[in-house]
Amino acid sequence: MKRIPLLIAGFAVAVLPGCAHQWDTVLDGRLYTRTNLHRYPVQIVAVNGEYSTFLPRRVDAGTLRLTVDAPPIAGFHLPERKEFTFQAAKCVRYWLVAQRAGPLTRDFDLVIDHAEAVAGCNPTSGQPLQAVIVPSDLSQIEPPRAIPMAKRP
């Protein structure tokens, strides 16, 4: 009778550490600041071809290929989908949003609404060589670049 709980506990100890995933960067499609005109939240549909509905997305740092949906404008029902390349730094949380020229413009650019260091994250496997510094001026961060995408049928 006492062996069954011990077997279950031993199985949990052996299996659960294998489920842990170390991620470096957080991508969030929600708005951080709400005062900018024509900025809209986005849905990060896929990262490097991996589709998920989790929000925020936890990914490894490096060059990422993002597939992003922006909300439709008035009179349309389907969201606007575009692909971007994005250089993500370790231990940084990014709020990515769609920036449109106007309220009736379908085309959008992916911009960084806000970025901040992830609390408790080490940028290296051991002690960090230097602290993670996110510039207060977001124009110093390289913006995402659009990738041409095939038209939907």
Residue type, position 113, single letter = D
Q: What whole-number percentage of the chain has pLDDT above 90?
A: 49
Place of tokens 């990914």: 59
Angle (nearest 5°) at CA 55 between 46 and 88: 60
Tens of pLDDT, residue by residue over 66-87, are: 999 999 998 999 999 999 999 9
Which positions ≥6 away from 22 have C-beta within 8 Å?
A: none
pLDDT score of 128: 45
- The model's confidence at residue 127, banded by pLDDT at 50, 70 and 90, is very low
pLDDT score of 21: 44
Tens of pLDDT, residue by residue over 31-70, are: 998 888 999 999 999 999 999 988 899 999 999 999 999 9
12 close to 48: Cβ distance less than 8 angstroms: no
Q: Is the peptide bond before 144 cis (omega within 30 degrees of 0)?
A: no
Q: In the chain, at which residue ranges do the beta strands (DSSP E only) sit?
A: 25-28, 39-41, 43-47, 50-51, 57-59, 62-70, 80-88, 92-99, 109-117, 145-147
Q: Best-predicted range by mean pLDDT among 80-84, 88-92, 138-142?
A: 80-84
pLDDT score of 80: 94
What are the structure tokens assigned to 132, written together? 């993670």
Residue 113 pLDDT more than 90?
Answer: yes
